[in-house]
Amino acid sequence: MGNTSSMLTQYDIEEVQEHCNETFSQQEIVSLYKRFCQLDRSGGGFISSDEFLSVPEFAVNPLSQRLLRMLDGLNFKEFVAFLSTFSSCATLQQKIEFIFKVYDLDFNGKVTFNHMLDVLRDLTGSYISEQQRQQVLTHVLDEAGYAKESSLVLADFIKILGSSGLKMEVEVPVD
């Protein structure tokens, strides 16, 4: 499975299904493998940042640079596991864990006000002022029972987003 020019075996498909908690059907995994091979232009079995940025929808995403630090160098199993977060079969917990990783800029298991402000800055660009961003974020934290000085851990994100009705879904086209 390391060489993208080879075809997936039934064993490979089942292994990937197990790795992503049965989120995708076997047919979806085969389709994802074809897409992975298209993205892996070097044929090395991994997708680089540049290869990810060749996807127009990804390149224009305001969080693409944050996502790249999570994606650079993914092999096929990791690629499918990443995409499984966006499946309708993924649990709310899996989706929240993914969001937490986007905010946890230094990978220390904590998200600070400044981390959240950085993400908000990426999302809003020049549409709102820095002062407005800080006010909005301070208000959201206050409503959730946290202070500006708080460092949030994954359990805090689960508490805050757990009842939000969060939707993060992408359909996998099946050939």
- pLDDT (tens place) for every residue of the chain, 175 residues total: 544 446 889 999 999 999 988 889 999 999 999 999 999 998 999 999 889 888 888 888 888 888 888 887 889 999 999 889 888 888 888 889 999 999 998 889 999 999 999 999 999 988 999 999 999 999 989 988 999 999 999 999 888 887 776 777 767 666 6
Q: Look up the pTM and report it.
A: 0.78
Q: Which residues pair with 74 in a beta bridge?
A: 47
Residues 40 and 65 in one domain: yes
Helix (H), strand (E) counts: the chain: 10, 0
Residues 129 and 157 in one domain: yes
Q: Is residue 31 part of a domain?
A: yes
Residues 99 and 137 in one domain: yes
Task: Using the CB atoms, write b or e for 65-100: b if 16+ within 10 Å.
Answer: ebbbeebeebbbbbbbbbbbbbbeebeeebbbebbb
Q: Is residue 108 part of a domain?
A: yes
Give me the number of domains the chain comprises.
2
Residues 68 and 101 in one domain: no
